[in-house]
Amino acid sequence: MGLATVWLLRRSATGVQQAIAAEREAHAAAQRRFLHRLSHELNNVATVLQVGLGNLSSSTRGETGPPTTVANALLQIERLGRLTKGLGTLARLDALGVQRAPVDLGEVLAEAMEMARHAAGGDQRTVAVAAPAPPAGQGVLLGDRDLLVQAVYHLVDNALRFSAPGAAVDVRARRDGRWVAVEVADAGPGLTADDLLHAAEPLYRGRAARGGEGLGLGLPLAQRIAQVHGGRLELRNDARRGTRAILWLPLATMSSAHAHTPRDE
């Protein structure tokens, strides 16, 4: 083995080591950002609760209805509950995987959109089905039905939050070979270049979301649910309007649909 060959091998090994180190650092940096955001969010909630409940006794004197401080405290408690529930779901997905069974995409879309319409209430924002799901039997997925409903719901709910009252959120499903794409498009301000890089990180909230009711968990949950089902989440700014979220999921094969695995380890 010549000196040149030895030098090339050492250089190659060094390159691999540097790539591994860079990947580890990127992962560690993402974890640090996550912990920082978690600390920030929980601290904000705790501060509001502390101030609100601390003033409870004085606020209730002479009041005939629920005092504002009590209402604010209850809202923050509910927000804290949603935050911890979302984080718990992320942890469960990473630790246990998912139960798998044949799931009809049309039913998933119908339930998710009904949940989103109910959550939107009477604020005049609507969910419009721009294109139907694949015909019955051609849109069968293999996975956890409840989690898939949750993934689509989070995308629709997120789109509704960034659409103006009176605007419609478009939902369409299309088949692309062995994949199905669930697309959700809003009429909001779109995402910045930085938002596109970090929007699916837990507790990240872009410029347009700061100060709103969101927790920064909807997109991360949708992405993680897609990943444990062998899919992915794609985010892009629509050329005509707002943001388009595309949930890519693999369709079940005929054999797998009839002989599903009990758990994805």
Query: What's the CATH code of the domain at 70?
Result: 1.10.287.130
CA distance readout (Å), 138 to 75, 104, 110, 127, 175: 43, 9, 16, 24, 9
**Is residue 264 situated within a structural domain?**
no
**Is residue 26 situated within a structural domain?**
yes
Are residues 213 and 139 located together in one domain of the fold? yes
Domain count, the chain: 2
**pLDDT at residue 153, as a whole number:** 92
Are residues 198 and 79 located together in one domain of the fold? no
From CA 172, how far away is CA 149, in angstroms rounded? 15
pLDDT digits (tens, 9 = 90+) for 181-229: 999 988 887 888 888 888 888 778 766 555 556 677 889 999 999 999 9
From CA 152, how far away is CA 209, in angstroms rounded? 19
Are residues 189 and 208 located together in one domain of the fold? yes
**Closest listed residue to residue 127, CA positions, set 181, 174, 175, 167:** 167
User: Domain range holding 90?
Assistant: 3-96
**Tokens (6 digits) for 217:** 């968990």
Q: Which residue has the tokens 């949708």?
A: 222
pTM, full prediction:
0.68
3-class SS of residue 187: coil
Query: What's the CATH code of the domain at 210?
Result: 3.30.565.10
Q: Show which of 96, 118, 137 is a domain's final residue.
A: 96
Are residues 117 and 90 located together in one domain of the fold? no
**Is residue 247 situated within a structural domain?**
yes
Are residues 29 and 67 located together in one domain of the fold? yes
**Is residue 265 situated within a structural domain?**
no
Are residues 59 and 125 located together in one domain of the fold? no
3-class SS of residue 48: helix
Are residues 68 and 114 located together in one domain of the fold? no
Q: How far is CA 94 from the centre of its chain?
A: 14
What does the mean pLDDT of the chain come to? 75
DSSP letter string over 213-231?
Answer: S--S-HHHHHHHHHHHTT-
**pLDDT at residue 39, as a whole number:** 61
Beta-carbon neighbour count of residue 67 at 10 Å?
Answer: 17
Give mean pLDDT, residues 143-169. 86
Are residues 116 and 185 located together in one domain of the fold? yes
Handedness of CA 64, 66, 68, 69 (dihedral sign): positive
**Is residue 65 situated within a structural domain?**
yes
Are residues 166 and 194 located together in one domain of the fold? yes
**Is residue 263 situated within a structural domain?**
no
Q: Show which of 61, 96, 131 is a domain's final residue.
A: 96
Are residues 115 and 213 located together in one domain of the fold? yes
pLDDT digits (tens, 9 = 90+) for 52-89: 666 665 555 555 555 676 677 777 777 777 777 777 77
**Closest listed residue to residue 143, CA positions, set 95, 101, 97, 93:** 101
**Is residue 210 situated within a structural domain?**
yes
- Answer whether residue 139 shows pLDDT above 70: yes
Are residues 162 and 250 located together in one domain of the fold? yes
**pLDDT at residue 155, as a whole number:** 92
Q: Where are the alpha helices (DSSP H) in the chain?
A: 3-54, 56-59, 68-96, 105-120, 145-161, 193-198, 218-228, 254-258
3-class SS of residue 96: helix
Q: Show which of 59, 78, 96 is a domain's final residue.
A: 96
Are residues 43 and 167 located together in one domain of the fold? no
